[in-house]
Amino acid sequence: MKEHDDKTARYAILSHRWGAEVNYEEMIGLMKMEEEERGEVKQRHGYQKIIKSCEQATKDGYEWLWVDTCCIDKRSSAELSEAINSMYRWYQNAQVCYAYLNDVGESTFPTKEDCNKFDKSNGWPEWFVRGWTLQELIAPKEVRFFNKDWVHIGSKWQLAPMLQDVTGIPSKVLRSGLAGKHFCVAQIMSWAANRETTRVEDRAYSLMGLFGVNMPMLYGEGKKAFQRLQLEIIRISSDHTIFAWNPPIPRT
């Protein structure tokens, strides 16, 4: 079997909001399952998402596709830590990133806030308020958005001005990445201010790539993860704006 890495292989990568997913163990054991169990897995929305993204990658001429839900063996803490520390680079080196917006039914990208339709995510698709999707929007050279039926509804390049309004990220970063640009720590942190993660620790872990730092994963450490992130940033940077940063406090 020929081995590939993220520098030599041409591959597509998926960015999405997690739901009922298929994990690594289930994927590699699919053919050994009893028919009923295999049928249950294949009925999951997460399995259909993998199949549809594979079909899109094949249509675009890519032999390889990376999907976080089934390509990381989370039973191995070493593999999980390596994957999280490498995640930004993997998205950065992908030829294309497919951003799947599972709550968009229209065949065009939403052009204005709709708090009735997206009442749980500040009036925009939920993809835009998740923590991990921040780096998945910035890192790849090309991001293509798809609605829930896998209809293409725009690219990061085409939608940059609108995405700037939605995310607060300057369009020049959306179009050409962070390399060579000088943004203060507080400004980059502000892009993540209103985003959420399921695990408290992931608020910090999902930002490592944006600041070019690495650190071990310690799930269970809670808010200490963010303190460790700040210490790592201070260690490589003399940018004092990090001391001016405070996460937003809910107001009554």
Q: Which of 44, 40, 36, 99 is nearest to 67 (CA)?
A: 99
**pLDDT number for residue 181:** 80
pLDDT tier for residue 251 given thresholds of 50, 70 and 90: very low
pLDDT tier for residue 250 given thresholds of 50, 70 and 90: very low
Instruction: Report how far residue 252's alpha carbon sits from residue 108's, in angstroms, rounded to the nearest whole number.
Output: 36
Residue 227 has which token pair?
Answer: 């303190």
Instruction: Report how far residue 221's alpha carbon sits from residue 200's, in angstroms, rounded to the nearest whole number.
Output: 9
**pLDDT number for residue 238:** 81
Between residues 103 and 7, the one the model is more confident about: 103
Q: What angle do CA 134, 137, 139 make, to 5 degrees?
A: 100
What pLDDT, in 10s, does the model give residues 10-21?
Answer: 999 999 999 999
**DSSP string across 107-173:** SS---S--TTTTTTTTTS-GGGGBSTHHHHHHSSS-EEEE-TT--EEEETTTTHHHHHHHH---HHH
pLDDT surpasses 90 at 41: yes
**pLDDT number for residue 6:** 74
What pLDDT, in 10s, does the model give residues 23-32?
Answer: 999 999 998 9
Mean pLDDT, the chain, integer: 92
**pLDDT number for residue 220:** 96
Percent of the chain with pLDDT over 70: 94
Classify each residue of 31-66 as buried b or exposed e, where b means 16 or more C-beta atoms within 10 Å of its C-beta: eeeeeeeeeebeeeebbebbebbbebbeeeebeebb
Residue 44 has which token pair?
Answer: 């999951």
**pLDDT number for residue 245:** 55
**pLDDT number for residue 2:** 52
pLDDT surpasses 60 at 134: yes
Instruction: Report how far residue 249's alpha carbon sits from residue 252's, in angstroms, rounded to the nearest whole number.
Output: 10
Instruction: Report how far residue 146's alpha carbon sits from residue 126's, in angstroms, rounded to the nearest whole number.
Output: 13
**pLDDT number for residue 246:** 57
What does residue 97 show for φ and ψ, rounded to 5 degrees?
Answer: -115, 130
Domain ranges of the chain: 11-179, 197-237
**pLDDT number for residue 3:** 59
pLDDT tier for residue 52 given thresholds of 50, 70 and 90: very high
Residue 64's beta-bridge partner residues?
11
What pLDDT, in 10s, does the model give residues 234-248?
Answer: 999 887 777 665 555
